[in-house]
Amino acid sequence: MTILGIDWGEAKIGLAIATAAVAEPYAVIRFRTIEEVFENVAKVVQVEQVEKVVVGVSEGRSGEEAKDFSLGLRKKLTIPVETFDETLSTQEAQKLAIEAGIKRKKRKDLDDTFAAALVLQSYLDSHA
């Protein structure tokens, strides 16, 4: 089963994909409107033959926005869309990137996709 993980952000989202038991960073989508996000995610779902989407949800206002996003995505896609706790995934992704010696500019560009991979991997591990 191919699963797409999403780390929600106000101006960009990180994507990760898993076709087995391991999640891998996939891409970052920058956007101006929510419709752009829905269109881009739908394209990825089609191209990668995704069978399920997992949206990371944190606490506070950002978490509420991620929940709203997941509800909208459910209406746009014909596959299951689930939410999963992603509290501190971005901070964990930053920490791992620093430990790996990735330079600041490159880390900034990749944080969202790494965070999406961490969320998706946690989801996969909890459902193993």
Q: How confident is the model at residue 98 (pLDDT cuts 50, 70, 90)?
A: low
pTM score of the predicted model: 0.84
pLDDT at 34 over 70: yes
Is the CATH number of domain 3-126 3.40.718.10? no
- CB of 54 closer than 8 Å to CB of 23: no
The residue-averaged pLDDT of 68-83 equals 95
Tens-place pLDDT, residues 107-121: 555 567 888 888 898
Long-range (24+ apart) CB contacts under 8 A made by 41-46 are 41/4, 41/6, 41/13, 41/15, 41/73, 41/76, 41/77, 42/76, 42/77, 44/4, 44/15, 45/4, 45/77, 45/79
Distances (CA, A) of 109 to 2, 12, 127: 24, 10, 29
pLDDT at 21 over 60: yes
